[in-house]
Each structure stands twice: as structure tokens, then as C-alpha cells.
Amino acid sequence: MTEYAAEIEVRFRDIDSMGHVNNAVYATYTEQARTRYARDVLDTDLSSIPTVLAALSIEYRRPVELEAGSVTAAIDVPEIGTSSLPMTYEIRTDEGVAAEAESTQVFLDESTGRPMPIPEAYRSAIVDYHDL
């Protein structure tokens, strides 16, 4: 399996009163990684793809501090559904894995708001990139 990795800057505003990245910011890191994934793997802007985030779960492993400078958000796609795209993430620093996450994107028919099959161009790009 091939993972996609995006380097994301740790910003001062990401830091909470405990001196480390606030837990809610990790959801933003996964979103930033998905946005870059759409650009680099699917050759499109995420906002032009009719999807919704149906699920997101995050498990925290270690704190990240501002001094880290950046994190790497690695994405893998373990499988591909008819209309759903599950993704797994590792948020890493030089010290190791800071968090693990899972999300599910669902492709929607914009006229009905109902799930639709993943367009073939996107499906092919995902399958090819991740050797599925």
C-alpha cells in the first residue's frame, strides 16, 4: 500500500493553554491532508467533489508542541466502497505518531442528496495510487 503524506505547519493558534496542539486541531490536520490529497491524487479541488464527511474518529498518542514546527499527516485508503471512501491517518512528528484517525467520505448526488457511486476517474486514481 502506498500512503500519501502532507507536511502541515504547527501554528501558534493551534496551541492550547496546556502548551500543546489542541485536540480539535487534529481534525483540521486531517482536513488539510484530505484537501491536498484531492489536489495531488485526484487532480481536483476538494470543494468541487460532492462528498460529505460521514465519520471521523481520532485517537491521541502523544502531545505535539509548537516547537515541533510541523506534523506529517499520512493518509492511507484501506479499501474503497461503492459510494464511500474510508481513510486512515497518522499524524506524526520527529518523535513518532502523535495521533491516529479514521474518516469516511461519502459521495453524494447533488440533485438528490443521496449517496452515489464514486466517479470512475476518482476510483481509478485512488485504486492506482494505493495499489488496491
Q: Which domain holds residue 9?
A: 4-130
- Average pLDDT along the chain, 132 residues, taken 10 residues at a time: 93 96 98 97 93 98 97 98 98 97 97 97 97 92
The CATH number of the domain holding residue 87 is: 3.10.129.10
Contact 33, 44 (CB under 8 A): no
Please tell me the predicted confidence (pLDDT) of residue 49.
Answer: 92
Please tell me the predicted confidence (pLDDT) of residue 1.
Answer: 61
Contact 10, 18 (CB under 8 A): no
Please tell me the predicted confidence (pLDDT) of residue 74.
Answer: 98
Using the CB atoms, write b or e for 112-125: b if 16+ within 10 Å. eeebbebeeebbeb
Number of domains in the chain: 1
Q: What is the pTM of this model?
A: 0.94
